[in-house]
Structure formats: structure tokens, C-alpha cells
Structure 1
Amino acid sequence: MTALATTAHALTDSWTMTRRELAHWARQPVQVAVGVAFPVMLLVMFGYLIGGGRAVTGDYIDYLLPGMLALTMAFGLEGTMIAVTEDLNKGVIDRLRSMPMTNGAVLVGRSAADMLQSALALTVLIGVGLALGWRAHGGPVAFLGAVGLLLLFRFAMLWIGIHLAMVAGKPELVQAVQILVWPVGFLSNAIAAPEGMPGWLGTVVQWNPMSQTATAVRDLFGNPGGETGHVWAAVVWPLALLALFFPLAVRRFARLSR
């Protein structure tokens, strides 16, 4: 089989698995709606109920919205992890692996469907941010670049979640693994500026990969808290995570039930 034919076969298998995951959306619309509504609730809560951020110059909503977009890309992995573990325990993945299918197509389909939901969540959250008074000032190209960085970060987080789901193996263990995501989210500059934190904590926050994405996105949007030069880090960090966890996930998937 030629390289072109192999690639075409892999893409076809991956698209088949993506359609399988999208079909689940039609049967589980509440889960999709909750996944989209949860970050909106957080945005409104921090923007109005808690209100304001210490050490943030300018309008807080302009600082908060990019951070909430990055936070949304880090959170929400529980649905992915539960779906993978349920397929494992119900024997679905064993049946799929017995078919003449490209190794890893099941996982690619799963990640592709989740990326579509992530894009939907970004669209809704940006729309709500506009309604609350947030504005992007960086121009169309910079806007698309910021969205691209957010989706790249999400893609890396998804493959971390897929790998950890196969490590956990059971849906009841997902919650324990999901707790690992929370430090990444809240030990960041998504909600508050590191300048208002103790020195050691501010250093940890600034080195957080999600902080790099949030800072780069703020810069591209022209919002407070953005710093020039963070775009490269917002690209390198997710690519490094992908380079580590993508092959780990595919390798572990290949070894299942051997």
C-alpha cells in the first residue's frame, strides 16, 4: 500500500470515528449544552458576582475574557475521559480494534469531535463576552491567531486526557485523575494577575503553560495583561505536550487487550 493510500485510509477511518462521536451528541444534547454553558457561568460569576481583579489595569472584563477562554480549553476533559473509559469497559474499543482500521483512528475521531465542541464553546463564550462589553482590538488576523492558539492548547490537553483515561481504565477513577487538571487552571493568570500574588506563587503562575497561552491571547486581542513575545511559548508548550502524550496514547491504545 502506497503512502498516499495509507494516509487516505487513516483519514477515512478517523472521519468514521468522528461521525460516531458526533452521533452521540444527538443522543446526549444535555451533556453538550452543559459543556458550553459551564464556562459562560464562570465568566458571569467572576465578572459580576466576584467582580474585578487585583493588580489588573483597565476594564476587568477585558482581562478576564481571554483568561476564561484559556481556562475553558483546559477544563472540560472529564467528558472525554469518561467516554474513553466507558468504551474500554464496555468492550467497544476491543470490537473496533478487531476491525481492519488504522491504529489510533478511534482516538483521532474522539479528539476531532471534542475539538468541534471546543470551537462551539469558544464561539459562545466570545459572543457572551461581546455582550458583556469585551472587545478585541488586534485586528482580524490577530483575532484568528488568538483563536488558533486556544485550539492548539485544547488539542494538547485533549491528548493528555485521552492518555490519562486509558491509564485510569475505569470511569470511577476519572474524577481522581481530573483533579490533576485543576492546578493547571487555577495556578495561572486566567483570573488574576500574578503581580498581585506572592513572589513564589507569581513565578509558578508565569511558568504555567496555560498562563503562556492566556498572555499571548491577551496580546493578540489587544487586551490588558498581554505581553509581546509570549506567542512562541504558547506554540511551543502545546507542541511539546503533544509530542509527549500523542505517541504515548497511541502506543497504549495499540497495547490494549494484548
Structure 2
Amino acid sequence: MTVPAAPPTAHGSPMTRVAGGAGFGAATWAVAQRGVRRTLRTPQILVMGLVQSVAFLLIFRYVFGGAIGTGGVGYVDYMIPGLLTVSGLFAGMSAAVAVAEDLASGYLDRLRSLPMPRTAALAGQVAADTVRVALILAVSAALAFAVGFRVHAGWGSALAGFGLCVLFGFAFVWMFVALGLLTASPQAAQGVGFLALPLSFVSGAYVPVETMPGWLRGFAEHQPVTVMMDAVRVLTQGDAAALGHAPGYYVWRSLAWTTGIVLVSGAIALTRFRKI
């Protein structure tokens, strides 16, 4: 059974309820449920994300950790906040492939024809992928404690740091959704997703940025991944992190970057979605 396309003017505002259709909240919830079910029915999506995170954890903890100096904080306590930040980034990469597959299969076209706000189609996808990111981060955090990571700034502060990692993953899910819509091909989306690798390695995730050449250090210090992981470090390690500023300084910088990524990526994704 086919569904008649809604009139072009029915979607005037992307957040308003369409006459006779679902509101933004209900439509987003329905799309998100479908995304979560798809993840549960294809557990390899979760498994591959976890395998990548665990592999990096074990390699840097037991292979490289003994050769990297981090000043007054132990390497495992230095590395884990960076690893969790990067894990949220990597976990969001599959969002680009998922949205490109939905576009190629016609699923997004069907959603566009339904009497619902078009914004809800993307918001629901992002919500489902953010749930997946949070699950991967939770398992990674549990494994981090198993290999020796410890919190030195109080559990309330540490939970806030975990929340920042999830929020950062949410921001990059929006970025990867935008990339998936721009490429419109699952194969191309998978390749474009690996552009995130320089952000993870040219950062303070695994080694102090002070050890990098001067021309590279400037970028590494001020790019969003380093800013976020500095916030997570100070929230989990407190004074032991020895970063030079109060926690609020790093938290507000990280929130500013996160907000900027969401606004820019969301605008690109919605503009592209309307033109497809």
C-alpha cells in the first residue's frame, strides 16, 4: 500500500505538527525505536564498536603505556579519559553508513512522504545512534576500571565527565549523519568516516601535546577532541591532571565546541535532507 505524498507546504516549519500527522516528539520516538531495533537485530554493529575500543585500550595500556611519560599522573589515568572521548567519536562513525543505506534503500524517501516533521526523521536516527554510543562508552568505562583506571576527583564529577563523553558522541553523530547524506553512498560514507582518525591521533588522547613539534602542537591543543578530553580528565582526575585551570574552564570550552558541532552539522544535514 502506498502512502500519498504530503503537499509541499505541509512541512513549512520543520518542528511543527503536520495536519493529521504525528508531532515532532512522537515521530522522533518512532524513528528512534526503529533505529534501536535495527541495532539489536544486528549486534555486530555494537560488537565492532566495542572491539575497536577494547583493542585501543589494551594496546595503549599494556604495549605503549610503559614507554610514554605523562608527568605526575599515571599513564592509565591519563589515557582513559582520552580513550573514552575518542571511543564516542569512533562509535558515531557508523551513523554515516546507516543514513546512507537508508537513503539508498528509499527508507528516508518514505519518511519524507509521511505527514510528519521532516526534522524528526534525522532526530530519531541521531537519538538511536546516541543510545548505541552510550552503551559502547559504558562497557569501555567498565573495562577501563578493570585494567587499573581510578577516579581521583569524586564520583559525581566523574559521572559528569562520562556525560560529556556521551554528549560529544551525540555531536559527532550529527556530523556523521550530515556526511552520510552528503555522500549518499554507504561505501563512500564508510571512507569519509575515517576522516575522524586525524582528530583522534593528533590530539592529547594518548600522548601529551607538549611532545609534538611546534607546528603540530598548535592544532592539537585547540582542536575539539583535545578540548573535550581535557574536560574529562579534569573531571575524573581533579588536581592530579595538573592542567592549569579550574574545571569550569575546560567544561565550558568543551560545551562550546559541542554546541558548535551540533549546530553546524545539524544545519548541513537538514539542508541536504530537504534537497534530496
1:10 aligns to what?
A: 24
* Alpha-carbon distance in 1 for matches of 2:241, 2:201: 16
1:177 aligns to what?
A: 192
Pair 1:56-2:70 in alignment: yes
Please tell me the residue identity of whatever aligns with 2:267: P
Please tell me the residue identity of whatever aligns with 2:162: V
Pair 1:33-2:53 in alignment: no
Give the structure-1-normalised TM-score. 0.92
1:107 to 122, 125, 130: 122
Indicate the percent of aligned positions where both proteins have the same amino acid. 32
Please tell me the residue identity of whatever aligns with 1:12: A
Q: 1:5 to 1:182 in 2, by over 3 A?
A: closer
Please tell me the residue identity of whatever aligns with 1:19: Q
1:66 aligns to what?
A: 81
Pair 1:249-2:269 in alignment: yes
* Alpha-carbon distance in 2 for matches of 1:5, 1:84: 23
Measured against aligned partners, the alpha-carbon deviations of 1:162-187 in whole angstroms (never above 9, x if no partner) come to 11111101112113312321111111
| SS class of match (2:272) | helix
Task: Answer yes or no: is the 8 Å Cα contact 1:188–1:208 preserved in 2.
Answer: yes
1:234 aligns to what?
A: 254
| SS class of match (1:104) | helix
2:171 aligns to what?
A: 156
Q: 1:26 to 1:151 in 2, by over 3 A?
A: closer
* Alpha-carbon distance in 1 for matches of 2:266, 2:242: 30
* Alpha-carbon distance in 1 for matches of 2:242, 2:252: 13
Q: Which has the larger radius of gyration?
A: 2
Q: 1:155 to 1:191 in 2, by over 3 A?
A: same
| SS class of match (2:161) | helix
1:20 aligns to what?
A: 34
* Alpha-carbon distance in 1 for matches of 2:75, 2:146: 15
* Alpha-carbon distance in 2 for matches of 1:69, 1:226: 19
* Alpha-carbon distance in 2 for matches of 1:184, 1:114: 20
Q: 1:179 to 1:33 in 2, by over 3 A?
A: closer
* Alpha-carbon distance in 2 for matches of 1:10, 1:212: 33
Measured against aligned partners, the alpha-carbon deviations of 1:79-117 in whole angstroms (never above 9, x if no partner) come to 211111111111111111111111121211111111111
Task: Answer yes or no: is the 8 Å Cα contact 1:218–1:226 preserved in 2.
Answer: no
Q: 1:226 to 1:170 in 2, by over 3 A?
A: farther
Task: Answer yes or no: is the 8 Å Cα contact 1:66–1:214 preserved in 2.
Answer: yes
Task: Answer yes or no: is the 8 Å Cα contact 2:111–2:118 preserved in 1.
Answer: no
* Alpha-carbon distance in 2 for matches of 1:185, 1:21: 27
* Alpha-carbon distance in 1 for matches of 2:203, 2:99: 28
Q: 1:238 to 1:50 in 2, by over 3 A?
A: same
Q: CA deviation at 1:54?
A: 3.1
Q: CA deviation at 1:52?
A: 3.4
In the TM superposition, 1:123-162 aligns within 5 A as 123-162=138-177
Q: Which runs of 5+ in 1 are unaligned?
A: none
State how many pairs are aligned: 253
Task: Answer yes or no: is the 8 Å Cα contact 2:178–2:269 preserved in 1.
Answer: yes
Q: 1:204 to 1:87 in 2, by over 3 A?
A: same
Q: 1:121 to 1:47 in 2, by over 3 A?
A: same
2:106 to 52, 70, 91: 91
1:199 aligns to what?
A: 214
Please tell me the residue identity of whatever aligns with 1:254: R
Query: Does 220-229 or 10-19 show the bigger shift?
Result: 220-229
* Alpha-carbon distance in 1 for matches of 2:151, 2:45: 30
Task: Answer yes or no: is the 8 Å Cα contact 2:92–2:169 preserved in 1.
Answer: no
2:137 aligns to what?
A: 122
Task: Answer yes or no: is the 8 Å Cα contact 1:53–1:193 preserved in 2.
Answer: no
| SS class of match (2:118) | coil
Q: CA deviation at 1:226?
A: 5.4
Query: Does 198-207 or 10-19 show the bigger shift?
Result: 198-207
| SS class of match (1:230) | helix
Q: Which runs of 5+ in 2 are unaligned?
A: 1-14
Please tell me the residue identity of whatever aligns with 2:230: T
